Chain A
Amino acid sequence: MANFIDYYKILGLSKDATSDDIKKAYRKLARKFHPDLNPNDTEAHKKFQQINEANEVLSDAEKRKKYDQYGENWKHADQFEQAQHQRSAGRPSAEDYSGFSGFNNEGGDFSDFFEQLFGQRHSSRQQKTNVRYRGEDYNAELKQKLSDAYTTRKEIITVNGNNIRITIPAGIEGGQVIKLKGYGGPGINGGPNGDLYIKFVMDNDTNLNRTGNDLSMTVDVPLYTAILGGEVTIDTLGGKIKLKIPPETLNGTKTRLKGKGFPVYKEEGKYGDLFITYNIKLPTGLSEEEKNLFRQLANLNK
């Protein structure tokens, strides 16, 4: 069973609120939480939904009466409902101020409480609230491995049963959205279709950190190589790279490899940089001979 919802509380009103109070309270809150004014804010969308539902009930004299009458005992309202349906059948709608349309598909339904008390929303209102000419936009998320995003790939995705072949350019970023024109909901009255928005979610499967087109990583360098100089080979997304380590390289030294970072989105052949931080590894588990040699070194520096 659905939980009781206090519609007065949602609109910040007391039970003796006049219809004018309700209208005012509703509009005030609607201006604050309207989805078109709160993009990317699902909390606001939810809140807006509740306000709408509260208004739908309290601004309609009959619904409000029923709601007030049964209140928290609404579960026994069945008989009342039957009588109500008969009476309201031929009645022209007294209220032409309909609810809002700002939602996308998600969260467009009223609560279970509402539906159990009043039945499905009246279709006349439902249609009126769906004010769009252009079809709805669809939103989808696509998970990508960072190592996959290094190259341009083709992928087939399924949206509402349709297979769509898409090309994902190298260098795409987490949070980035690509638009597929016309793959959203159908237009109404000859209006154009909506679009499909695909948001990429990056899953870092590497030991690299990515900032825009730049990559960074820590590379371990053996003590002897750091002191005497030498070479270290590292694995990058673009293949192996040999690094020249100059003699007396200090721990934490940073170096930049130009053009060895991530590919720049939609700019073929262009790459960011790779930033490397050297981590000098001290040898452990030294043999007696090694320890002696270090002692000699230590004595030299006394």
Chain B
Amino acid sequence: MEENELIPADDFCSYHQVSWAFITSLEDAGIIEIKRVEQQHFIQSEQLKELEKLVRLHTELEINSEGIAAIAHLLQRMNELHRELLTVRQKLQFYEH
């Protein structure tokens, strides 16, 4: 697994048929981080999951990068709330018993 830690951004873009501009716009929005090594661009493999999700939303629902940035923040917020809900439910259970 270690050898796959950095994914060449070109490979990623051509595989997914997304523009490099889309990737950089996500970087500008602070959603992903791009590594630059000797003028080459790389994506960290641990960010691939999130990135591929956003790429799917971009290509499949035709949402532009501004929209994707907003969605990414909302999804994150939703995740936090979901986790909080689970904790609160657990606490409530304690009082209902």
Contact = CB atoms under 8 A, between A and B. Distances in A.
Interface of A: 27, 30-31, 34, 36-37, 39-40, 100-102, 131-134, 137, 174-175, 181-182, 187-195, 209, 211-212, 216
Q: Please report whether the interface of chain A is mostly helix, strand, loop or mixed according to DSSP.
A: loop
Given A36-B53, A192-B48, A209 B59 contact: no
Contacts of A134: 45, 48-49, 52
A37 B1 contact: no
B15 A36 contact: no
B41 interface: no
Contacts, number: 75
A49 to B, nearest CB: 14
Given A34-B61, A102-B60, A182-B1, A191 B71 contact: no
B12 interface: yes
Given A36-B56, A134-B48, 20 more contacts: A27-B61, A31-B61, A34-B61, A39-B82, A40-B82, A100-B56, A101-B60, A102-B56, A102-B60, A131-B52, A131-B59, A133-B11, A134-B52, A189-B11, A190-B11, A192-B4, A209-B97, A212-B87, A212-B90, A216-B94
B19 interface: no
Nearest to B48: A134
A192 B56 contact: no
Interface of B: 1, 4, 7, 11-12, 15-16, 45, 48-49, 52-53, 55-57, 59-62, 71, 75, 78-79, 82, 86-87, 90-91, 93-94, 97
B18 to A, nearest CB: 10
A29 B16 CA distance: 23
Q: Please report whether the interface of chain B is mostly helix, strand, loop or mixed according to DSSP.
A: helix
Contacts of A175: 86
Given A132-B52, A175-B86, A34 B1 contact: no
Given A133-B48, A191-B7, A192-B4, A37 B75 contact: yes
B57 A30 contact: no
Closest 4 CB pairs of A and B: A192-B4, A182-B1, A134-B48, A192-B45
Nearest to B46: A181
24 contacts: A34-B61, A36-B53, A36-B57, A37-B71, A39-B75, A40-B82, A100-B56, A100-B60, A101-B56, A101-B60, A131-B55, A132-B52, A133-B7, A134-B45, A175-B86, A181-B1, A182-B1, A189-B15, A191-B15, A191-B48, A192-B4, A195-B49, A211-B91, A212-B87
